[in-house]
Amino acid sequence: MSELIDDFDRRIKYVRISVTDRCDFRCVYCMSEEMTFLPRDQVLSIEEISMVARAFTELGVEKIRLTGGEPLVRRNIDELVNNIGSLEGLRDFTMTTNGAQLRRYASSLRQSGMQRLNISLDSLKPERFKELTRTGNLEKVIDGIRAAKEAGFERIKLNAVILKGRNDDEILDLVEFARDESIDISFIEEMPLGDVSEHSREETFCSSDEVRATIEARYPLLDSPESSGGPSRYCRMADSDSRIGFISPHSHNFCDSCNRVRVTCEGRLLLCLGNEHSTDLREVIRANPGEIEPLKQRIRESMSLKPHRHHFTTDGDVQIVRFMNMTGG
Ligand code: SAM
Ligand code: SF4
């Protein structure tokens, strides 16, 4: 039973932990071309992240997702996954990755108890993939997806951010790829996180409704009741096991059932992706080495900081200056 209940009676069952701000890609909607990353001593160590994960599970959290930056560029990531995979009370353990290192890591992640993977894929055209990720290699990511399938993950889901004029002509190709591979796919609306100057977000914004209309022209979609307590809605097609998700962070509809919080790679606990309300867990961990109780106490106290709802806009105003790689997707 979760001990973490906020002032609006929402039970926190899900934590996303960013394990690094670094990445081997520079996706145009996530990072600028030149990035300065945090000095290593400001980032939580593998032991500190393991302790944060343990504290949350002891407080009733059942689901942990590792993200970043790119979690698979973090040194000793397999040790961290192993530590978290053995925590009691954890029912759902997942990672969001760009997939480029999965050939190397997929089977050890699976063996350490990770059940599901989200793999980002915005284009099936090699040159366009390179343009959108700036440094990525499509072939490696496709091979990573195959490695994840071979490793026997319970579910694999692709994440695609759709930008008008950049990859919106590939919506159906991405759906067909997911169908052929018998995996799921979610389409994500671009969020105004970080001041990326490569494109105007106002011009490239493509709503979930537009993506859905494109898919429905070929495959009628049946709404599915599955919900993650987050901004995702799921649909099914009559002739396939693949699920199609739509992630609309701009929608406020999910705030009432929000069951999640995030921890940045610096150990800042963010109570809401769209607000700055936060508390510093690193300070507590480093002031009380090896002691879990002070950390649990700080997490309990932070519940009163969770705001009722977020306030994203699409009018080009960057309200939240953090880059996505700092907060984790
Ligand atoms: N590096 C991993 C990856 O790309 O999957 C994990 C971290 S990444 C920040 C997590 C997810 O956030 C990815 O699916 C990415 O496409 C998405 N993302 C990044 N910046 C975004 C933005 N500004 N708006 C919407 N989604 C974004
Ligand atoms: Fe890296 Fe993921 Fe951001 Fe792309 S979306 S730059 S892969 S952290």
**In this predicted model, what pLDDT tens digit does every residue of 24-37 receive, in sequence order?**
999 999 999 999 99
| Whole-number Å distance between alpha carbons of 48 and 302 | 19
Nearest alpha carbon, ligand 1 atom 2: 97
| Whole-number Å distance between alpha carbons of 119 and 187 | 12
- Spell out the SS3 assignment of the chain: CCCCECCCCCECCEEEEECCCCCCCCCCCCCCCCCCCCCHHHCCCHHHHHHHHHHHHHCCCCEEEEECCCHHHCCCHHHHHHHHHCCCCCCEEEEEECCCCHHHHHHHHHHCCCCEEEEECCCCCHHHHHHHHCCCCHHHHHHHHHHHHHCCCCEEEEEEECECCCCHHHHHHHHHHHHHHCCEEEEECCCCECCCCCCCHHHHECCHHHHHHHHHCCCCEEEECCCCCCCEEEEEECCCCCEEEEECCCCCCCHHHCCEEEECCCCEEECCCCCCCEEEHHHHHHHCCCCCHHHHHHHHHHHHHCCCCCCCCCCCCCCECCCHHHHCC
Task: Kindly tell me if the per-residue pLDDT of 187 is higher than 80.
Answer: yes
Nearest alpha carbon, ligand 1 atom 11: 329
User: Does the C-beta of 208 come closer than 6 Å to ligand 1?
Assistant: no
User: Does the C-beta of 67 come closer than 6 Å to ligand 1?
Assistant: yes
Distances (CA, A) of 281 to 35, 55, 66, 78, 299: 25, 11, 17, 23, 8
User: Does the C-beta of 329 come closer than 6 Å to ligand 1?
Assistant: yes
| Domain boundaries of the chain, sorted by first residue | 14-327
Both structure tokens of 244? 């199609």
**In this predicted model, what pLDDT tens digit does every residue of 200-232 receive, in sequence order?**
777 889 999 999 999 999 999 999 887 666 778
Consult the annotation and say whether 51 binds a ligand: no
Ligand 1 atom, smallest distance to 68 CA: 7
CA of 59 to the centre of ligand 2 (A): 30
pLDDT number for residue 252: 59
Ligand 2 is surrounded, with C-beta below 6 A, by 23, 25-27, 30-31, 68-70, 98, 120, 324-325
CA of 325 to the centre of ligand 1 (A): 7
Nearest alpha carbon, ligand 1 atom 12: 329
Is the pLDDT higher at 275 or at 222?
A: 222
Q: Which of 198, 105, 121 is nearest to 158 (CA)?
A: 121
Consult the annotation and say whether 206 binds a ligand: no
Ligand with an atom nearest the CA of residue 99: 1
| Whole-number Å distance between alpha carbons of 44 and 55 | 15
Q: What value does the mean pLDDT take over residues 190-203? A: 75
| Whole-number Å distance between alpha carbons of 171 and 113 | 32
Task: Kindly tell me if the per-residue pLDDT of 246 is higher than 90.
Answer: yes
Given pLDDT bands bounded at 50, 70 and 90, which one contains residue 110? very high
Given pLDDT bands bounded at 50, 70 and 90, which one contains residue 192? confident
Ligand with an atom nearest the CA of residue 324: 1
Is the pLDDT higher at 6 or at 215?
A: 215
Nearest alpha carbon, ligand 1 atom 23: 191
Task: Kindly tell me if the per-residue pLDDT of 123 is higher than 80.
Answer: yes
| Whole-number Å distance between alpha carbons of 37 and 84 | 25
Nearest alpha carbon, ligand 1 atom 26: 190
CA of 28 to the centre of ligand 2 (A): 9
Task: Kindly tell me if the per-residue pLDDT of 316 is higher than 70.
Answer: no
- The superfamily in CATH containing domain 14-327 is Aldolase class I (3.20.20.70)
User: Does the C-beta of 193 come closer than 6 Å to ligand 1?
Assistant: yes
Q: Which of 120, 134, 158, 207 to mutate to test the pocket of ligand 1 (most atoms within 8 A of CB)?
A: 120
User: Does the C-beta of 97 come closer than 6 Å to ligand 1?
Assistant: yes
Ligand 2 atom, smallest distance to 96 CA: 2
Ligand 2 atom, smallest distance to 133 CA: 4
* Residue 187 burial (10 A CB sphere; 0-12, 13-18, 19+): buried
